[in-house]
Amino acid sequence: MSTDEQAIARDLSGRIATLLEQNDQSDPARFLGARFDAGLAWVHFPPGRGGLGLPQSFQAQVDAELEAAGAPGPAKSRNGIGLGMAAPTIAAFGTDEQQQKYLRPIFTGEHIYCQLFSEPGAGSDLAAVATRAVREGDGWTVNGQKVWTSGAQNAQMAILVARTDPSVPKHAGLTYFLCDMSDPGIDVRPLRQITGEAEFNEVFLTDVHIPDSDRLGDEGQGWRVATATLNNERVAIGGSAAARESGMIGPVARAWREQPELRDPAMHDELLRLWVEAEVARLTGERLRQQLEAGQPGPEGSGLKLAFARLAQTISGFDIELHGEAGLRYDDWSMRRPDKVDFTGREPGYRYLRAKGNSIEGGTSEILRNVIAERVLGLPPEHRVDKDIAWKDLPR
């Protein structure tokens, strides 16, 4: 660490000590607000916007020192979309007014976010969305349907992509908005999954008014803004900080150690192979996070997310085999609306069923392979006959 970096680290420690000394930690929302105001929410964000304009690498120090002090942290499990997707997108593309209005409530947990991107006819092909936003005076009127919307039943805000110009090719006619989920005309309906739960929703928008001040980025720039959001999402899904034997491999390894009666010599090599793959994926994620400290998320996150989905499904299948008949039991197949997904704290049957969604949510594995091929490996893109055709002229 250079002399300048040491000075920054000492200054941060002083700021953290002051924050802890002057603020009551028993009220998490108030404490997080004070942390935001002190520039210790996202240190790489601009001053006055939750940051100090420092390199992102110093965020780890802030998080570690506050965690060691037992201070409350942001609700990542409840507001992953807000913290991991909406906040960095607003910081990158939002106006000063938008950053001032929306970043602090995301960090304090006052605004829980959902993502209004996918549609019944445009899931993996985000550029094909049909939800329309029509300019009317100082705002936009939005009509359409979104699907697979996690947490919409609890959300105060949403990030929304809608078509504002059907006369240009599909990638060019999109615009990105911030949407108040309490506005009239928004109807949230649960979608029941194979697990019996309803994490996801379909959302209907009927004559929803969004002020132009809540447009994020320029009109027609929605594809660029959404791409940045999705890059952040894939890093969050595939490259979040993880300890050894976290994730799906954890309960499997514990069962192998703690329940000798489950051990099968024929399965030993397969368990070792999966353990090594999980550790390689974890270390790759750590390396990516270190790279991101100096820049923005790139397409490498797609590779991690792809590996995460494949591994989760393979390990959960192995988990079922390891437990035999007991692995098929499912203790609570009931209609619930969970605030967060518990991948590792439930029985093997639940983990097996829930992992089936990992290759769909956050970008299908098929689409991610295209991203890796074209943007990482530099392979020729797939032939697209609709690339230069106006969206309104495309067959649907």
Long-range contacts formed by 38-44: CB under 8 A, 24+ apart: 39/15, 40/12, 40/15, 40/16, 40/66, 41/74, 41/103, 41/107, 42/87, 42/91, 42/107, 43/12
Q: Is 192 helix (H, G, I), strand (E, B) or coil?
A: coil
What distance separates the 2 farthest-apart alpha carbons in the chain?
A: 71
Cβ count near 229 (within 10 Å): 25
Angle at 374 between CA 368 and CA 376, to 5 degrees: 80
The encoded tokens of residue 132 equal 């329309």
Task: Write down the number of H helices and E strands in the chain.
Answer: 12, 8
| Residue that is written with structure tokens 């999954």 in the block | 193
Catalytic residue among 233, 258, 261, 270: 233
Q: How far apart are the C-alpha atoms of 285 and 353, rounded to whole Å?
A: 25
Given the DSSP bridges, would you call strands 200-211 and 186-191 parallel, antiparallel or unpaired? Answer: antiparallel
Number of other residues whose CB lies within 10 A of the CB of residue 285: 21
Question: H/E element holding 99?
Answer: helix 96-108
The DSSP bridge partners found for residue 119 are 122
Which residues touch 162 (CB under 8 Å, ≥6 apart)? 129, 131, 132, 133, 140, 142, 144, 174, 175, 177, 222
Residues 6+ apart with CB under 8 A from 212: 135, 138, 139, 140
Assess whether 233 carries a catalytic annotation.
Answer: yes
The SS3 call for residue 139 is: strand
* Terminal Cα-to-Cα distance of the chain (whole angstroms): 57
For tokens 């007014």, name the residue. 97
Could you tell me if 132 and 163 are in contact, meaning their C-beta atoms sit under 8 angstroms apart? yes
Q: What are the residue numbers of the active site? A: 233
